[in-house]
Amino acid sequence: MSAAPAPVGEFTLDAADFTTIARMTHAHSGIVLADGKRQLVYSRLAKIVRRRGMSGFADYVELLRNDADARREAIFALTTNHTKFFREDHHFAHFTTHVRAGLIAQAERGRPVRLWSSASSSGEEPYSLAMTLLGDDKAAGTRLASRDVAILATDLAPHVLATASAGRYPVAMARDIPERYRRTWMSKEADELVMGPELKRVLAYRRLNLLESWPMKGRFDVVFCRNVMIYFDEPTKARLIERFAELMAPGSFLYIGHSERVIGPATSAFEPVGQTIYRRTA
Ligand SMILES: C[S@@+](CC[C@H](N)C(=O)[O-])C[C@H]1O[C@@H](n2cnc3c(N)ncnc32)[C@H](O)[C@@H]1O
């Protein structure tokens, strides 16, 4: 196969500079940028080159080699953050039917309930999970939110976490949210949909690189890791699955993206129980 043509624009991104950026991105985030992504890298980074007043990619790549903050900024810009409320809604249907009642009983017995949205992007996924967990009965949901219940939302990119913690979205996004949850847990302010305090109470947002060490102790009852493994190579995916297995309680649930698979040595620690849904075996 011939190499992808060089992107055409104000600057030149030659093959060598592209390779340096791709290697650096892989080393620090696990994200694989194949040759076909040269145009994407150009369009995401050209604005930074311009803003920094640099003459072109050669100087910028030199900066990335020597400046960790500049490198992080480039990697954040190279993440793809597409998401939506109730994306792959069969996961939320499964959670409602097979998982929720057990977690409510656990919380009522005074035991901690821990869920993790491990590549949360701008928050639509963890808020969807919070609404599904709290349900559509305001009094019961508010009582549940006052128990030891926490949904950890983490992502590599700080700009998306800022949106998640603000909890304000364009009102047009309301169409993705079932009416019974919209009515119960959020309000409308001008052209914004505002996530209510009960949802925010159960959510905690942290920046976390899935490749680095994880500070969390304790066991998770539910892990969502959706539409991030697609960017990783096979060894990175396998290691990630192993690390999830170590942190997940027996009988807990792992939800992955529609085109993702559980692979590697920890596969035997998971039993498939639905479309891209796995239960951690004892
Ligand atoms: C396509 S979004 C998926 C969002 C959500 N899980 C969903 O399925 O709708 C992928 C997210 O993974 C994050 N990401 C990429 N590499 C990561 C890493 N090494 N550690 C943590 N998050 C990462 C990106 O910043 C991005 O927000």
- The pLDDT of residue 93 is above 60: yes
* The pairing of beta strand 203-207 with beta strand 149-155: parallel
Query: Is it the case that residue 90 has pLDDT exceeding 60?
Result: yes
pLDDT at 2 (0 to 100)? 47
Look at ligand 1, atom 13, and give the residue with the nearest C-alpha. 119
Q: Confidence class of residue 7 from pLDDT cuts 50, 70 and 90? A: confident
The pair of structure tokens assigned to 102 is: 């057990």
What is the distance in A from the centroid of ligand 1 to the CA of 120?
Answer: 6
Q: pLDDT tens for residues 215-229?
A: 998 799 999 999 999
**Among protein residues, the one whose CA lies closest to atom 23 of ligand 1:** 156
Question: Which residue from 246, 142, 248 is spatially nearest to 201, judged by alpha carbons?
Answer: 142
Here the contacts of 40-44 (C-beta below 8 Å, separation 24 or greater) are 40/78, 41/13, 41/78, 42/7, 42/9, 42/11, 42/13, 43/7, 43/9, 44/77, 44/78
- The answer as to CATH 1.10.155.10 being correct for domain 15-78 is yes
Which pair of structure tokens corresponds to residue 251?
Answer: 């009988």
Separation of CA 138 and ligand 1 centre (Å): 31
Q: What percent of the chain has pLDDT over 70?
A: 98
- Please check the confidence at residue 1 and state whether its pLDDT lies above 50: no
Pocket probe for ligand 1: among 156, 163, 169, 213, the residue whose CB has the most ligand atoms within 8 Å is 156
Residue 11: closest CA among 63, 72, 54, 62: 54
Ligand 1 center–CA 108 separation, angstroms = 32
Average pLDDT, the chain: 96
Domain borders along the chain are: 15-78, 90-280
| CA 116 / ligand 1 centre spacing (Å) | 13
Closest to 114 measured CA to CA, from 213, 256, 224, 222:
222
- DSSP-based three-state secondary structure for 257: coil
CATH, domain 90-280, list 3.40.50.150, 2.20.25.570, 3.40.50.300, 2.40.30.170: 3.40.50.150
Helix 38-51 and helix 68-78, axial crossing angle in degrees, nearest 10: 130
What pLDDT is attached to residue 218? Answer: 75
Q: Is 105 helix (H, G, I), strand (E, B) or coil?
A: helix
pLDDT class for 140, splitting at 50, 70, 90? very high
Structure tokens, 232? 């990783």
Protein residues with CB under 6 Å of any ligand 1 atom: 29-31, 79-83, 87, 119, 121, 125, 155-157, 160, 209-211, 226-228, 231, 257
The C-alpha atoms of residue 90 and residue 68 are separated, in whole angstroms, by 40
Q: Tell me the pLDDT tens digit for each residue of 146-181.
A: 999 999 999 999 999 999 999 999 999 999 999 999
Active centre residues (catalytic): 44, 155
Say which amino acid occupies 49. V
Token readout for 19 is 């390779």
How far is 226 from 223, CA to CA, in rounded Å?
9
Q: Candidates 24, 75, 80, 155: which one to mutate for ligand 1, based on the most atoms within 8 Å of Cβ?
A: 155
CB atoms within 10 A of CB 181: 22
Nearest atom of ligand 1 to the alpha carbon of 117:
6
* CA–centroid distance, residue 17 to ligand 1 (Å): 25
User: Taking a C-beta distance cutoff of 8 angstroms, is the pair 271, 240 a contact?
Assistant: no
